[in-house]
Amino acid sequence: MLDTLNTASIIIPLKDNDGSDNSQIIERTIRTLCETHGGATAWEAKGYWVNPKGKLFKDDVTVIQSAMTKQEGNREALRELARDILSDTDQEAVYVSHPGGDVEIIE
């Protein structure tokens, strides 16, 4: 019997907090998900969040989804993608939705 596929997603702002372009990081993330899970779908959206100091942030973002199983290895792979994004950008956190719907903010 095949494992059931679920939707997972990661959200990346189009521009970094310092204003630099994140398109290469977005493309790398899409390519990684295609290589590891067979495909990805991406679209642009608006993201809003409030930091601990109460400041409202508004970002143009790319939402990237891929189908994968709920296996812990897939969850850890998404966390690793988010940590890579953090190390390559000026972001404070990365939103990850795991297969099955659990959400995690990677800081």
Mind listing the pLDDT tens digit for each residue in 43-65? Answer: 999 999 888 899 998 999 999 99
- Domain assignment present for residue 34? The answer is yes
- Domain assignment present for residue 21? The answer is yes
- Residues 65, 41: contact at Cβ < 8 Å? yes
Specify the CATH number for the domain of residue 51: 3.30.70
What is the DSSP-derived secondary structure letter of residue 99?
T
- Domain assignment present for residue 1? The answer is no
Q: Where are the beta strands (DSSP E) in 1-107?
A: 6-13, 41-50, 56-68, 94-97, 103-106
Residue 3 confidence class, pLDDT cut points 50, 70, 90: confident
Q: Percentage of the chain with pLDDT > 70?
A: 98
- Domain assignment present for residue 22? The answer is yes
Q: Which domain holds residue 94?
A: 6-106
**pLDDT at residue 2, rounded to an integer:** 63
Count of domains forming the chain: 1
- Domain assignment present for residue 37? The answer is yes
